[in-house]
A and B are shown apart, each in its own frame.
Chain A
Amino acid sequence: MRVLLMFLGWLVLSCSAAASNDGWLQFERSQQAVKKFNFDVTFVQMRSNQLSTFRWLHGVHQATGSLPVQTELEQLIPQDLAGTDTFRRNDRVYYSSPGNSLLVTVNQSIKELPAILFQSQAGIMKLYDAVPGSSTSLSGRTAQLLRLTALNNGRFSYWLWLDGETGFPLRVDTVDQNNEVLERWMVVHMQLKPTLPTELMNLLKADLPAEPVQLPVVETVGSADFQLGWLPEGYQLALQQSSTATPNNPVLASWLLTDGLHQISVFVQPSAGLPAQAFRDGATTLLVLPKQNIDVTVIGPLDVTLANRLADSVQ
């Protein structure tokens, strides 16, 4: 009897001690699941007032020849309107949309999927703390809640619900500092398969251009007329362009900042004569700040106050 009680006591103690470590283990498991499994999944994405549905296919093909070559295949198909069909073969991501030529890029993951599931765990551990929560029932499966709480107050947090059986992510909520849900990504149908989904077999054999799109020569020298005076905590400058243009409007300068997981864009355009405005698209804040004869636009997953500070730092 004593022995049993001692064992129970040990179990309770060890469980509480392992809890902190357990969160990152669960996270690792879910990241592995989206990379290694063969699956056919449908998910919905909820952003403010709109909802979009996607079918997401993924598989790993093992060549049977003399060389054990593994090919990772992935496809993202919009379900509710004719959008961009996205597919990936190893590190090449192809964007195919009606009326446009095929865009070939080099990417380890499809950027339209939640980045938190694909970025390196070491990088995420620098920005977030993993806290396992209670388990609930989602889509008829047992799901374990895992909270990734931002270490820095200006960053949004993630709440992940992971399938208890496989570790596959079933739901990802992006929440602000007050735990209000800004954006939700949720699996509504999931089918794990023992082999590559048949739909991906065509993609395996398809003759696709391997050469990625030629990038314009990036000017790294700060010869631009405008400068960014401040960066949010943890962010670094990834890209700087002095003058480009969108189809209808000129862009005088632009910057792309990244913390390894999120991206913030800053654009400088000639003034449109409108007062300062802030919009929200899911977890993405859009802020337009007029300054003398220019408009500074900040787009990214950050607080309005931080966005304002960033826009204000443009000189």
Chain B
Amino acid sequence: MSSEKQDWLSAASDNQGISAQQLDSLLQDPDLQQQWLRYQMMGNVIRNELPAQVDLNFADNFALLLAEEETHQLQPEPVLQLAAVSATSRWGKVKSAANMPWMKTMLQGAIAASVAIVAVVGVQQSQQSADDALTSPLPVLQTRPIGGVATPVSLSQSSVDSRFAVQQQQLQLEQQRRLQELMQARQQQIRLLEQTAQQQQKNQQNQPVVEQPPRGQ
């Protein structure tokens, strides 16, 4: 067993290949590690690579030095100090309050609200940009009629098509005039609406008065 071990260990110390299993056993077995150290030493002696003085306890000494070294810890110092100082001030309370769950939910609410505001403002702006929609898909009534009809300047004036077009145009113009008149009639109706309503009320009040005396008699 031991000779087998020594064989692969010796081979490994001469830069031969080593299997994963063998490496595992080397890492776990202190005896093997001692053996490995000795093989390395022997190799160094054979290759004349040894220094004048060999410190066999180098690893131990180094471990000792490491242990003696001051421990440096990564401390969140500035934050801790600020918190300690400001705990007495008002803002400190606010800051510490900011870490409390209720404050967190409130802040989350505030952020959500501001997002909502941005959304609303955005929507409004996009709606306002629709202002040019003042031009509607429906044809617009010419409430201020343009004088005269445009007559085609061409020799083919007497053609059936253009005559029909002129006729159509005149009909349209007539229609516009008729609508103008109706718009004016409507305006008059609206102006007199309140008065009409009052008069109707009066009539309704008067009618029973007129009718009642005969009944009384």
Q: Give residues in A with beta carbon < 8 Å to B.
A: 1, 46, 48-50, 93, 95, 103, 105-108, 111, 133-134, 179-182, 184, 212-213, 215, 218, 220, 238-239, 244, 246-249, 251, 254, 256, 258, 263, 265, 267, 269, 272-274, 277-281, 285-286, 288, 297, 299, 304
Contact = CB atoms under 8 A, between A and B. Distances in A.
Chain B's interface size range is 35 or more
Contact of B138 (A213, A278, A299): A278
B182 A48 contact: no
Given A184-B134, A274-B171, A105 B178 contact: no
Nearest to A115: B190
Interface residue SS majority, chain B: helix
B121 interface: yes
B138 A280 contact: yes
A1 B92 CA distance: 11
A188 B124 CA distance: 22
B22 interface: no
Given A49-B135, A299-B183, A238 B175 contact: no
Interface residue SS majority, chain A: strand
A272 to B, nearest CB: 6
A12 to B, nearest CB: 9
Contact of A279 (B93, B141, B194): B141
Most buried by B among A95, A108, A180, A247: A180
A246 B175 contact: no
Given A134-B120, A246-B181, A286-B179, A182 B191 contact: no
A14 to B, nearest CB: 16
Contacts of B177: 248
Contacts of B172: 274
A249 B178 contact: yes
A267 B127 contact: no
Interface in B184-217: 184-187, 189-200
17 contacts: A1-B93, A48-B134, A105-B192, A106-B195, A134-B124, A182-B134, A184-B134, A239-B193, A248-B177, A249-B181, A254-B189, A256-B193, A265-B185, A267-B185, A272-B174, A278-B139, A279-B138
